[in-house]
Amino acid sequence: MRILGVILLIAGIAMIVFREVNFTTEKEVADLGPVEINKKENKTIGWPSYAGGITAVAGIVLLVAGGKRKS
């Protein structure tokens, strides 16, 4: 459970710092023998900043709960 807590904490901090992720996809529009026509599209995935906070808090809760059970 502590490993999941650490992963959630790191993911939550990363979500707060990086509020969106940009990437490029390439689609094949036409293939006419030796000639190819491709189209590049820029896409963005975004999330609200409170989602990162909730994820980080969940990671902290799991870390604290995992530490108390082993003691």
Q: Looking at the whole model, is its pTM more than 0.75? A: no
Widest Cα–Cα separation across the chain: 68
- Measured CA to CA, the distance from residue 66 to residue 71 in angstroms comes to 9
SS3 24: strand
- Which tokens is 50 given? 């409170």
CA dihedral 50, 54, 57, 59 (to 10 degrees): -130
Q: What is the pLDDT of residue 71?
A: 47
Which residues of the chain carry a pLDDT beneath 50?
71
Name the strand (E) or helix (H) holding 40: strand 35-46
